[in-house]
Structure 1
């Protein structure tokens, strides 16, 4: 419960009691429980989008509402990480300068473009999924399942690019076997949604392709920054969610 409270407190705006303590053991559990912590929010977002379709609103509106509910309920935490990561890596400067750009907090051109492309892609893919039988449930599970990227990014051997902050607290805390189990569970659940919606292949390959993109981002950040940061973790979550939604929406 301590790890779950930490996950809810870090990743959402859901009011929960403060954890008994914030240490690396609690951080490990929080990273592993991130998909569970985000499930209430992803369900609310998917049902809000589905409700828009039932009311006869355009599909893109339903997609925008789904994305907006998720952003509002998480305080746009991962959006901030996505923008900062795009600005830092897109600057093509030395590691210290890139990290300084990411820490400034303002949004540059690369960050603005990344935000626009990622959330437009999500908003466009969501209504395709919502229109299918049990599509609202698939959207919810895909959005929650994308948070397994946190367990992958914080597995043992991943070092922070700078001391302090969220990255230094959680990076390297998740044993590799635990990360693999988390990925397997997330894959089984998200793949099963393809059976419900009648589009099995897309659901099966969605998470593997998403994690491939996340590992590419991790490798790029380690090479360019010397390690990972909390911003890179947020960018990884949004990248995973985008790839999963797009792949699952394809009529395989």
Structure 2
């Protein structure tokens, strides 16, 4: 039973965070808990692909801004743009200053408002600029930084789905995954990403873990604000947490 639950959780994590056509297994809260706990590992694998492309473009002498933009675009493609969509919807909803029901209704609409557009532009610009900076670093450091930043973005989801965080709606992705990650899994995931981050900034072994923890702190604040305004998390809030946390991690890794 445990093996089947773990396998189902892995498949759910892959289909949630990437475009890979993995056959769906059972989808219940037990599998969701596994999926949200292993989300950083899926992020790390995605980061390997993105980091490899960045290094390849650098070796091919592509201009750093172009390399950064290509990797950002590839990241959106490999995730179907779902996290970016969640960011835009969440910022539109929270920025509307409507009540809980009104904000959730705005988030359900397919259009993107001015707050959402501004958030998308800023996040994409910052990520592309950070990646352009990493393109000028050693291949090993650049690859490690991209892996760590991408894993940290998914670690935000692990934190957003920890026990005690409610769902904003009775159905949807938020209802499936909210409150499914226990403290042991949360601690292991956080320690694993922070440890991997030691290699992300050569000569400064403290900077990588500090960037991870700072990014997670921002994610926790974002989720807490969503809980206050919306009553809990939704799939859009999780997507917003991924993009915001990834962006903060990149900034922390390229400073100095």
Q: TM-score range by the shorter chain?
A: over 0.9
Name structure 2 gaps, 5 residues minimum.
1-6
1:144 & 1:211 partners in 2: Cα distance? Answer: 11
The answer as to whether partners of 1:130 and 1:139 remain within 8 angstroms in 2 is: no
2:200 & 2:57 partners in 1: Cα distance? Answer: 21
Q: Quote the residue 1:120 is aligned against.
A: 125
Name structure 1 gaps, 5 residues minimum.
none
After TM superposition, what 4+ stretches of structure 1 lie above 4 angstroms from structure 2? none
1:72-97 per-residue CA deviation (whole Å, 9 max, x = no partner) reads 01101100110000000011111100
Does residue 55 of the first structure (1) align with residue 60 of the second (2)?
A: yes
1:57 & 1:192 partners in 2: Cα distance? Answer: 25
How far 1:159 sits from its partner (Å)? 0.5
Q: Quote the residue 1:163 is aligned against.
A: 170
The count of aligned residue pairs is 248
TM-score (norm 2): 0.93
SS of alignment partner, residue 146 of structure 1:
helix
How far 1:185 sits from its partner (Å)? 1.2
1:118 & 1:167 partners in 2: Cα distance? Answer: 23
- Trace 1:78-97 onto structure 2 (pairs within 5 A): 78-97=83-102
Q: Quote the residue 2:150 is aligned against.
A: 143
1:160 & 1:97 partners in 2: Cα distance? Answer: 16
Q: Quote the residue 2:19 is aligned against.
A: 13
TM-score (norm 1): 0.94
Does residue 27 of the first structure (1) align with residue 32 of the second (2)?
A: yes
2:41 & 2:111 partners in 1: Cα distance? Answer: 31
RMSD across aligned positions (CA): 1.3
1:155 & 1:62 partners in 2: Cα distance? Answer: 35
Q: Quote the residue 2:112 is aligned against.
A: 107
1:236 & 1:172 partners in 2: Cα distance? Answer: 16
The answer as to whether partners of 1:44 and 1:69 remain within 8 angstroms in 2 is: no
Q: Quote the residue 2:195 is aligned against.
A: 188
Structure 1 residues 219, 190: closer, same or farther in 2, change over 3 A? same
Segment drifting more, 53-62 vs 156-165: 53-62
Does residue 131 of the first structure (1) align with residue 152 of the second (2)?
A: no
